[in-house]
Amino acid sequence: MSTTTTVTAADVNKLRQMTGAGMMDCKKALAEANGDFDAAVDYLRKKGQKVAASRADRDAKEGYIIAKTNADNTAGYLIGISCETDFVAKNQDFVNFVEAVLNTAMENNPADGEALKALPMDGVTINDKLFDMIGRIGEKIELSSYTKITAPRVVVYNHPGNRLASMVGLSSAAASADAGKDVAMQIAAMNPVAIDKDDVDSTVVERELEIAKDLSRQEGKPEDMIEKIALGRLNKFYQENTLLNQAYLKEDKKTVRQFLDSVEKGLTVTVFKRVQLG
């Protein structure tokens, strides 16, 4: 710093208001930048990049997840930003930041996470804002999830604590929000792998069949019965792990498919997403 440059309390406060960084960090940044505010902001951002690099191998298993729908309920957006500690995840500034990123996503409809991070927010990019927060907090902080769905009717469910959220797209715009929420809660609780049997990835089907055959052999079942037994176990896998074939949690004598059909004839799920921390 030049000996003629004096960092005043007003300057420090101004930089704090601009960046949210701590008082001592702002004072040092202004000193290093000879009082130049733009350079001081760059200094703080580079500090965030250094912290990010030094903590790259850390686990960021805490965070905040939230989903919302657009005004006409035809699109759902889900954001997850992770951090290292529960203390940071529950900080109101962190929560506000995640919700601001979600609102930016809803306004701009970016294609993916990288496009989202490149969007402007408060005169800089969201990616810059992430580095600002890393420098200020000193933890690994990253955009861990960004996903969106579209359907005639989209309903979202945010589990209390914001560590888990789900979104479901229904085939009818007239479908009730309550029915949609029940299915979204089912998705959150039961974590299905697909909507229906035919939607399960073929590699998953092959793996489940092989596991079922190995188990049957270990149980000493006759070789000529193994294929039939394996197919039976695969069918049980479908019942437990595909959404429409799962027992409906609120009325387990019905499947989710039967529940939806009772709400509106032919009503079904066209898409769903589920994201959980950790």
pLDDT band at residue 251 using 50, 70 and 90 as cut-offs:
very high
> Which pLDDT band, with edges at 50, 70 and 90, does 225 fall under?
confident
Spatial distance between the Cα atoms of 193 and 204, rounded to a whole number of angstroms: 10
pLDDT band at 51 (very low <50, low <70, confident <90, very high): low
- Whether residue 5 has pLDDT greater than 70: no
Q: Which two tokens stand for residue 148?
A: 């969106």
Q: Which of 146, 118, 267 is nearest to 256 (CA)?
A: 267
What is the C-alpha separation between 230 and 247, in angstroms, rounded?
21
Alpha carbon distance 136, 130 (integer Å): 10
Checking if the pLDDT of 278 tops 80, the result is: no
Better pLDDT: 61 or 51: 61
Structural domains in the chain, CATH included, are: 9-54 (1.10.8.10), 62-150 (3.30.479.20), 197-275 (1.10.286.20)
pLDDT of 52 over the 60 cut:
no
- In angstroms, the Cα distances linking 87 to 51, 83, 121, 274 are 18, 9, 25, 24
What is the pLDDT averaged over residues 242-249? Answer: 97
Closest CA to 156 of 181, 178, 134: 181
Share of the chain above pLDDT 70, in %: 91
Could you read off the pLDDT of 167-183 as tens digits, one per residue?
999 999 999 999 999 99
Token reading at 251: 């009325």
pLDDT of residue 48: 59
